[in-house]
Amino acid sequence: MKTLGLILTLTSAFAFSSAAIAAEKFPKSADIKVRNLAEKDFPRWQQLAPTVYAYEDTHAPDPSGGVINTVSLIVVTNDGVVLVDGQGDSMDGQRLVDSIKKLTPQPLKYVVVGSDHIDHVGGNPEPKAAWPAAVWIASPASKATMERNKNAVLPAELVGDKRTMTVGGTELQILNLGRAHTGGDLAVYLPATKVLFLGEIYLRDVFPAMRSAYPTEWIETIKKAEAMNADWIVPGHGFVDSKAELKADLPEARKALEAVVAEVKRVHATGAKCESPQNCEAAKQANFGPYKDWALSGSQIPLAVAKVYQEIEGKLPK
SS3 string, the chain, reads: CHHHHHHHHHHHHCCCCCCCCCCCCCCCCCEHHHHCCCHHHCCEEEEEECCEEEEEEECCCCCCCCCEEEEEEEEEEECEEEEECCCCCHHHHHHHHHHHHHHCCCCEEEEECCCCCHHHHCCCHHHHHHCCCCEEEECHHHHHHHCCCCCCCCCCEECCCEEEEEECCEEEEEECCCCCCCCCCCEEEECCCCEEEEEEEEECCECCCCCCCCHHHHHHHHHHHHCCCCCEEEEEECCCCCHHHHHHHHHHHHHHHHHHHHHHHHHHHCCCCEEECCEEHHHHHCCCHHHHHCECHHHHHHHHHHHHHHHHCCCCCC
In a structure prediction context, what are the per-residue pLDDT tens digits for the chain, which is 318 residues long? Answer: 333 343 443 443 344 443 334 445 677 899 999 999 999 999 999 999 999 999 999 999 998 889 999 999 999 999 999 999 999 999 999 999 999 999 999 999 999 999 999 999 999 999 999 999 999 999 999 999 999 998 899 999 999 999 999 999 999 999 999 999 999 999 999 999 999 999 999 999 999 999 999 999 999 999 999 999 999 999 999 999 999 999 999 999 999 999 999 999 999 999 999 999 999 999 999 999 999 999 999 999 999 999 999 999 999 998
Residue 94, number of CB atoms within 10 A of its CB: 17
Q: What are phi and psi of 172, to 5 degrees?
A: -125, 135
Q: Which pLDDT belongs to residue 15?
A: 41
Contact 111, 137 (CB under 8 A): yes
- Residue 6 structural domain: 2-252
Quick check: is 284 in a domain?
no
Q: Which pLDDT belongs to residue 183?
A: 96
Going from the C-alpha of 34 to that of each of 24, 153, 240, the distances in angstroms are: 12, 34, 14
Quick check: is 62 in a domain?
yes
CA distance 93 to 200: 18
Q: Which pLDDT belongs to residue 4?
A: 39
Q: Which pLDDT belongs to residue 54?
A: 98
The pTM of this model reads 0.93
Residue 267, number of CB atoms within 10 A of its CB: 20
Q: Which pLDDT belongs to residue 173?
A: 98
Quick check: is 303 in a domain?
no
Contact 54, 240 (CB under 8 A): yes
Contact 137, 124 (CB under 8 A): no
Quick check: is 14 in a domain?
yes
Tell me the CA end-to-end span of the chain in Å, nearest whole number: 48
Quick check: is 135 in a domain?
yes
Quick check: is 22 in a domain?
yes
Q: Which amino acid is at 124?
A: N
The rounded radius of gyration (Å) of the Cα atoms in the chain is 19
Q: Which pLDDT belongs to residue 64?
A: 82
Query: Tell me, what CATH number does 209's domain have?
Result: 3.60.15.10
Q: Which pLDDT belongs to residue 14?
A: 41
Q: Which of 53, 69, 51 is nearest to 61 (CA)?
A: 69
Number of domains forming the structure of the chain: 1
Quick check: is 268 in a domain?
no
Quick check: is 309 in a domain?
no
